[in-house]
Amino acid sequence: MRKFCPRCGKESEKLIEGFCERCLEELAPAPGLKDMKMEVCPVCSRVREKGRWVKKSLSEVIEKYLKRKGFRNVNVEVKDDSVEIEFDIEIRNKTVRRKSTFYIKTIKRICEECSKERTGYYEGVIQIRGDVNADKIVEEISGMVSKSGKRGWFISKIDKRKEGIDLYIGSKSAVKNIARRLKNKYNADVKESYTLVTRKDGRNVYRITAVVRF
């Protein structure tokens, strides 16, 4: 059966809400779309969003970007070099579901966190001491780190020593948090000390050592 657009009178194989695609675009133009470039860390899959590395999927970052652009009820599907989206738009007081595609170029770049981890950067040390299965505690700490997703929550080095195990951690806040959780769970004794390592921008920079004795 032949179909004609009631607005322009042209024959069309497919009518959307009674209109051809050209008239539909004129009646309710989609918010502007441009091809995108996105930086993705090949190590941890973090995505660079507004100058910051975030632990989100590429589709989550794109969806947030599209909502800021005025798209409503967006569904995003990322493919190799393109993004297919579905969204709602108003036509003559009626909500219509639309589809669109734009192209994306992903640039692989190692994020700051992974770069620090690879170079052995650390801001503190957790020392496991006492009568305890130290390997089990290390496994537990590794689980805390992997679930956190926070900046600086990584283990850059594990040093097995005669007196126990030392874990070199990426941030001071992570050291304090992990030590406190071990203290609460095992009733362990925790002693913290600070060592001055350098000065940066006129301020002293310290490393923390937390001795956790079981």
Residue-wise pLDDT for 66-92, tens only, equals 888 878 888 999 988 888 888 887 766
122 CB neighbour count, 10 Å cutoff: 23
Cα dihedral angle (143, 106, 37, 45), rounded to 10 degrees?
A: 0
In the block, residue with structure tokens 């639309």:
98
Are 179 and 195 in contact, with CB atoms under 8 Å apart? no
pLDDT value for 29: 60
pLDDT greater at residue 32 or residue 152: 152
**pLDDT band, residue 12 (cuts 50/70/90):** confident
Are 35 and 105 in contact, with CB atoms under 8 Å apart? yes
Which segments within the chain are labelled E, that is strand?
Answer: 36-40, 47-49, 52-54, 72-78, 82-91, 94-108, 124-129, 155-161, 164-169, 189-200, 203-213
Q: What is the pLDDT of residues 121-151, one digit of tens each?
A: 999 999 999 999 999 999 999 999 989 878 8
Q: Could you give the CA distance from residue 135 to residue 132 in angstroms, rounded to a whole number?
A: 9
**pLDDT band, residue 108 (cuts 50/70/90):** very high
Q: What is the C-alpha end-to-end distance of the chain, expressed in Å? A: 81
Domains contained in the chain, CATH given: 1-29 (no CATH), 31-108 (no CATH), 120-213 (3.10.20)
Furthest-apart CA atoms within the chain: distance in Å: 87
The closest of 126, 108, 132, 130 to 180, measured between CA atoms, is 126
Name the least confident of 46-50, 167-171, 172-176, 179-183: 46-50
pLDDT value for 70: 79
Residue 32 has pLDDT above 70, yes or no: no
**pLDDT band, residue 14 (cuts 50/70/90):** confident
